[in-house]
Structure 1
Amino acid sequence: MPSPIVAVVTFDQFSPFHCAVPCLIFGDMMMPGRPLFELRLCAGDAIPQPASSQGFHIHPPHGLEALAEANIIIIPFWRDPAERPAQPLLDALVTAHDRGAQVVGLCLGTYVLAYAGLLEGRRASTHWEYEQDFMQRFPCVRLDTNALYVDDERLITSAGTAAGLDCCLYLVRQHHGSQTANKLARRLVVPPHREGGQAQFIEQPVPASTRDARMNQLLDHLRAHLAQPHNLDNLAEHCLMSRRTFTRRFQQATGLSVGDWLLAERLRRSQELLESSSHSMERIAKLVGLKTATSLRQHFRTRFGVSPSEWRRTFRGDRV
C-alpha cells in the first residue's frame, strides 16, 4: 500500500515553528528507513516565502496542484485572521475534501478552513487567544474552546502552537496505529498525552520505567498480570516493604497512586487489544482486569471521550 501523501501548505510571513511541526512528523527524519508518509511542501502564494520576522526563507517545490493528489492537506498557520486567503487555495481545499482528503488546520490555520466554508455547522478548535475573534467572524462554526484538537468528518483543527504536535500524532495513529505513534512521540521526547482540554483520542501517559529498580520489576509484573486483582497489602509484600513505605515509593517512582497507575495501564492495554484483536468487549475487559464490559466502557469514555467501539472503528479500520 502506498504511503499517504501529506501536503503542507506554506505562505509568505510563515511561522517557522508551526511549519516545522508537520514537516518533522510526516517527513522521514524521525523514522529513517521507514517512510510512513510522502511529504510535499506546497506554496500557497509567492516564492520564496520569508518568515514574518525571524529571517527564514523557504522555497516550496510544489504549488497548489499537489493538493489534487494529497490524502492529507495541512494548513499549519495563517498570518492574519482578518485576511481572507486567496480563492484558488480555498477552492482547492473544498475540492480536496469533497473527494475524501483530510483537511487540517493547525492553530490559526483553522481560519483558512473557515474562510473556505468547510467548517460551517461543524466543530472546530483554534488558539485560545483568538476564540472571541473567531466566533465573531464565523458564528456558524461550533468552536470547541476546551479541545486540544477536533476531528469532524475529516476536517481536523487544533488549538495553538504545541497542540499541533498532538494533532499530528493523532493523524499518525489513524494511519499507522498507536504503537507507531507512541514510538514517534518517544523520539520527539513528548508525552503521548498532555493534561488539559478534552483528551479525545490521545493516550494517557503511563510510566514505562522509573529510576527505582525494584519498582521497575513490579511494573513489569503488574503488566504481565493485569487480569488479576491487586491490593496494596499484597503488592507491598511482593516488594518486601511495609504498606506505608510501598505507597510512598510507588508514588515517588511513578507520580501516580497504585490505583491510578493500574487503571491507566489497563486502559492502555485495552486500546491495544481493540486495535489488534477481534475480542469482544467482555473478553477485553477480563483480559485487562476491568472485569465487565460495562466497567470498561465507563472508564474508557471517561478517560478518552469516546466509547471502546468508536476507538476500534477509528484506529483498527480495515487492518484487522
Structure 2
Amino acid sequence: MHIALLAYDHVSPFMLSTPLAVFEAAGAAYEVTVCALDRQVLGQGGLSFNVLASLDAATAADVVILPGWRDAREPVPQAMVEVLRQAAERGAVVVGLCLGTFGLAQAGLLDGRRATTHWAEAERFAACFPAVDVDPGALFIDEGAVVTSAGVAAGLDCCLHLVARFSGQAEANRVARQLVVAPQRSGEHAQLPERPAPASLAEHRVADLLEALWQDPRDTPSLDVLAKRAGVSLRSLTRHIRTRTGDNLSGWLRRARIARAQELLARGSPIELTAVQCGFADGQAMRLAFKREHGMSPRQWAAKQRLDYRL
C-alpha cells in the first residue's frame, strides 16, 4: 500500500514523523513517500530538509495524508487542495491530522460528514465550514473515504487505527508495542488538552505499573494495592491513570487484555486458553469484553481480520 505524506513549509516535525514512524514500523506492506510543492522544506524550530518527491507522487497513492497545517487562519495552498480532491475522486483514502482537517474541508471532502480537529480550533473550523458536522471531542473519526484526527498525539492513535483497518488489529497492536505505546485509544475517547507527559516520580511509577500490567494482564490488583505500590494516595493514583490512559483502571485494563488476546488469537491460540492467559475469568467473559469493545465475538473479530486459525 502506497502512503503519501504532504509536507509544507513550517510543518511540525512531530506531525510529519508520526505517520512515518507508524507505517514504517508496519513493515513492507506499506511504502511511504513524503512529497511537497518545493524540494526543500523549512520545518518548525529552524529545521530544513530535502524532499525527493513532488506533489505528483501523490497521484498514485492509496492513502494521502495531510499531517497538520501551520495556521488555521491561512488557507492551504490550492495545489495541495487539488491533490486531496483528486485523491478522493480516484478512490484513495484521504486523511487530515490535526489542522490538516482544514485542507480536507477546503477540498469539499467533509461536507455532510462528521469530522474532528484540534479542540482549540474547532470553533473556527465550524464557522468556516458550516456544512461539516464537527465533533470537537473525538480523538479521530473514520468516515471511510475520509479520516480526521484531533491535535498532535491523537495523530498517533489515528495512524494506528489505519493500520488496524488495513492490516488487522493484531498488526496494529504489534506496531504499538514496537513504538512503546500504550494500547490504542479509540476515536471516541475524549480529547485531553491538558494531558501532560509523565514528569514526576509518582507519574513514572504509575507508568511502570501500567506497563507491567500490559505485559501480564492476568494480574487484577485493586486500586488500593496499586496506590501502595506507587507510593501515592488513591485519589492521586486515579488522577494519574486517567491522565495517562484517558480512562479509569477498569476500562484501560479491559482494553489491555483485549489487545493481548488479539495477539494470541492471531497466533492461533484457542479461546479458552487465551482467556486465562489474558486475565479473563473464562472464555465467556472474554466474549462479553470483545462484544462491548468491538461489537463482535473473538471468532467474528478473527474472521474480520481474515485470520484462518482454529479457535
TM-score by length of 1: 0.68
Q: How many residues align?
A: 273
Q: Look up the match of 2:55.
A: 64
Q: Distance in 2 between matches of 1:93 and 1:73?
A: 7
Q: Distance in 2 between matches of 1:129 and 1:315?
A: 40
Q: Look up the match of 2:43.
A: 51
Report the 3-state secondary structure (helix = DSSP H, G, I; strand = E; otherwise coil) of the residue aligned with 2:172: helix
Q: Distance in 2 between matches of 1:153 and 1:19?
A: 22
Q: Look up the match of 1:136.
A: 127
Q: Look up the match of 2:201.
A: none
Q: Distance in 2 between matches of 1:314 and 1:91?
A: 38
Q: CA deviation at 1:300?
A: 4.8
Please state if 1:308 is matched with 2:292.
Answer: no
RMSD (Å), alpha carbons: 4.2
Give structure 2 stretches of 5+ with no counterpart: 191-206, 231-236, 242-247
Report the 3-state secondary structure (helix = DSSP H, G, I; strand = E; otherwise coil) of the residue aligned with 1:191: coil
Q: Distance in 2 between matches of 1:126 and 1:247?
A: 34
Q: Look up the match of 2:179.
A: 188
Q: Aligned to 1:38, which of 31, 39, 44?
A: 31
Q: 1:29-72: per-residue Cα shift (whole Å, max 9, x none)? A: x46xx4341110101x23312124x1111221111221221111
Q: Aligned to 1:23, which of 3, 20, 23?
A: 20
Q: CA deviation at 1:83?
A: 2.8
Which stretch has the larger CA shift, 102-111 or 66-75? 66-75
Please state if 1:10 is matched with 2:34.
Answer: no
Q: Distance in 2 between matches of 1:151 and 1:97?
A: 14
On the 8 A contact 1:108/1:160 being kept in 2, the answer is yes
On the 8 A contact 2:6/2:66 being kept in 1, the answer is yes
On the 8 A contact 1:174/1:314 being kept in 2, the answer is no
Q: Distance in 1 between matches of 2:298 and 2:136?
A: 23
Matched to 1:9, the amino acid is L
Q: Distance in 1 between matches of 2:29 and 2:75?
A: 33
Q: Distance in 1 between matches of 2:303 and 2:134?
A: 25
Q: CA deviation at 1:210?
A: 5.5
Q: Look up the match of 1:198.
A: 188
Q: Distance in 1 between matches of 2:252 and 2:82?
A: 48
Q: Distance in 2 between matches of 1:311 and 1:144?
A: 33
Q: Aligned to 1:116, which of 86, 90, 107?
A: 107
Q: Distance in 1 between matches of 2:249 and 2:14?
A: 38
The structure-2 alpha-carbon separation of the partners of 1:103 and 1:268, relative to structure 1 and needing over 3 Å to count, comes to same
Q: Look up the match of 1:151.
A: 142
Q: CA deviation at 1:93?
A: 1.6
On the 8 A contact 1:104/1:157 being kept in 2, the answer is yes
On the 8 A contact 1:193/1:199 being kept in 2, the answer is no
Matched to 1:38, the amino acid is E
Matched to 1:46, the amino acid is D
Q: Look up the match of 1:90.
A: 81
Matched to 1:49, the amino acid is V
Q: Look up the match of 2:204.
A: none
TM-score by length of 2: 0.70
Q: Distance in 2 between matches of 1:317 and 1:56?
A: 40
Q: 1:156-208: per-residue Cα shift (whole Å, max 9, x none)? A: 1110011111111111222222333223222322212359x7249xxxx9956
The structure-2 alpha-carbon separation of the partners of 1:143 and 1:260, relative to structure 1 and needing over 3 Å to count, comes to closer
Q: Aligned to 1:78, which of 69, 78, 91?
A: 69
Matched to 1:307, the amino acid is G
Percent of aligned positions that are identical: 34
Going by fraction, where is helix more abundant, 1 or 2?
Answer: 2
Which stretch has the larger CA shift, 110-119 or 184-193? 184-193
